[in-house]
Amino acid sequence: MKIDSYLKAKSVEEAYKVLKENKDAAVIAGGAWLKLMPKTIGTAIDLKGLGLDEITETDNEIVIGCMATLRQVEKYEALQEQYDGIISKSASSIMGVTVRNIATIGGTVAGKYGFSDLLPTLMVVDAELEFYKRGRVKLSEFMNEKGFADDILTHIYIKKVKSRGWFETMKNTAIDFPIINSAVIKSPEGYCIVIGARPYKAAYAIKSMEFINACKNPGTDEIAQAADIAADEMKFGKNQRGSAEYRKELCRTFVKRGLTEVIS
Amino acid sequence: MKTKINVNGTLKTFEVKPDEYLLDTLRNSGCVSVRRGCDTTSCGVCTILLDGKPIASCSYLSCRADGHNVTTVEGIPKEVALIADFFGHEGADQCGYCNPSMALTIYAMKKELKNPSDDEIRAYLVGNLCRCSGYVAQHRAIRAYLEVE
């Protein structure tokens, strides 16, 4: 990683302008994994100091600034109360405190990292993003778009819902990237299932969700069937952490555990 | 680019490159208690306190520390001596390479968490690896340190 110049933006407008006018400019967010990127950044845009590191609340939503660290997200009390605290739990499972004090939620979201533990939980609770020019957009929509944002992500919105949620991640060691992870919720709209670290980016288990949502009172058999459907419909790949077959079996187990937990 | 950082209570001006990391800036200025390990945020031996919070200095750009406070073990000698006593008493260190980073993280944990459980202590120290001790003796030493008022 090489950085030619550094800009501490004085405003989001300035950051946006520099980003749009320079093809080799990039917003560096927390910068925790900058070193691992095999490219040269012409201008590294820093959003630090613009007040985007705050977490606030309205009556219906929790509003997280893009520069809030994973440690802030993990510790924020109101987030621990949503969906059995799965967002806090997923944030706390990422590396150690020394990294979570650097890495930001904005960097995680904008990077669409396949290895992210946080993204599946944000997707499963149907988080929304706010971009400086584009305005608000659902995270699910952003994840489906090709490439990365050419706008400045400023805030992440989480609806306040006290309902059941489950998150689990499988790692070789606590400081490794996950082999697979999964988030499951039961909300007033129904069940939602997201599988991440496949090792591709996180995605909804659509067919499995359709099946379980169509069941009136899902029991053990229906849960097992939904888990099989999820394992069959998701695409898995291999890397140094695990094979596609291994991930498929873990997915089956995770969906079964997740649904069992939120239904109980 | 000129970067002003308060290191252990002394305001210092550094000339840093845009892609220079705090680990290098500190070590090049003679602060070699900040160790280089994996250089990719995994091992924790490069831990420093930035405005009181433990961070991996190997992955924090120096220019971003402009106007902030950095603490290394040299900045908290009494606390470090106390932690070292507990480590020694419990036989919690061998090569000592991770000791400065451990001391800083433990110090920060004591300030941040009130009466942490054993699991909370382990979770807080996940990012600080020790390849010698196996952590059991360290855990005893940390427990003893946390009980000091």
Are B50 and A101 within 8 A, CB to CB?
yes
Are A96 and B50 within 8 A, CB to CB?
no
Alpha-carbon distance of A164 to A187, in angstroms, equals 7
B133 pLDDT band (50/70/90 cuts)?
confident
Closest residue of chain B to A93, computed from CA coordinates: B123
| Residue B50 pLDDT exceeds 90 | yes
| Residue A1 pLDDT exceeds 90 | no
| Residue A38 pLDDT exceeds 80 | no
Nearest to B127 among A4, A34, A98 (CB): A98
What pLDDT does residue A35 have? 84
A-side interface with B, Cβ within 8 Å?
1-6, 8, 28, 31-36, 44, 46, 48, 71, 92, 95-99, 101-102, 174-175
Section B61-73 average pLDDT:
97
Section A21-48 average pLDDT:
91
pTM: 0.95
Are A6 and B1 within 8 A, CB to CB?
yes
pLDDT tens digits, B7-18: 999 999 999 999
What pLDDT does residue A39 have? 82
Contact B72, B127 (CB under 8 A): no
What pLDDT does residue B93 have? 86
Section B138-148 average pLDDT:
95
List the domain boundaries for chain B. 2-74, 75-147
Do the domains B2-74 and B75-147 sit in the same CATH topology, yes or no? no
Are A98 and B54 within 8 A, CB to CB?
yes
- A243-255 burial: b if 16+ Cβ within 10 Å, else e: eeeebbebbbebb
Residues of chain A with C-beta less than 8 angstroms from the C-beta of B124? 97
Are A102 and B55 within 8 A, CB to CB?
yes
What pLDDT does residue A147 have? 82
What pLDDT does residue A36 have? 80
Closest CA to B102 of B43, B38, B144, B50: B43
Please report the sign of the dihedral spanned by the C-alpha atoms of residue B61, residue B66, residue B70, residue B75.
positive
Are A35 and B18 within 8 A, CB to CB?
no
Q: Report the interhelical angle of A220-233 vs A244-263 (nearest 10°).
A: 150
What pLDDT does residue A148 have? 83
Secondary structure class of A117 (helix, strand, coil): coil
Section A88-117 average pLDDT:
95
Are A71 and B61 within 8 A, CB to CB?
no
What pLDDT does residue A34 have? 86
What pLDDT does residue A192 have? 98
The percent of chain B in helix, strand and coil, each rounded to the nearest 5, is 40, 15, 40
Architecture field, domain A55-159: 2-Layer Sandwich (3.30)
Percentage with pLDDT > 90 across chain A: 92
What pLDDT does residue B60 have? 97
Closest residue of chain B to A41, computed from CA coordinates: B19
Q: Which fold has domain B2-74?
A: Ubiquitin-like (UB roll) (3.10.20)
A9 pLDDT band (50/70/90 cuts)?
very high
Alpha-carbon distance of A119 to A123, in angstroms, equals 6
Assigned token pair, B127: 């990012």
pLDDT tens digits, A176-205: 999 999 999 999 999 999 999 999 999 999
| Residue A54 pLDDT exceeds 90 | yes
Closest CA to A126 of A69, A86, A73: A86
Closest residue of chain A to B124, computed from CA coordinates: A97
Residues of chain A with CATH 3.30.465.10: 55-159
Mean pLDDT, chain A, rounded, equals 95
| Residue A173 pLDDT exceeds 80 | yes
Q: Which fold has domain B75-147?
A: DNA polymerase; domain 1 (1.10.150)
Assigned token pair, A169: 């991640």
pLDDT tens digits, A109-140: 999 999 999 999 999 999 999 999 999 999 99
Alpha-carbon distance of B133 to A178, in angstroms, equals 26
| Residue A58 pLDDT exceeds 90 | yes
Closest residue of chain A to B56, computed from CA coordinates: A98
Does the domain made of A164-263 have the CATH classification 3.30.390.50? yes
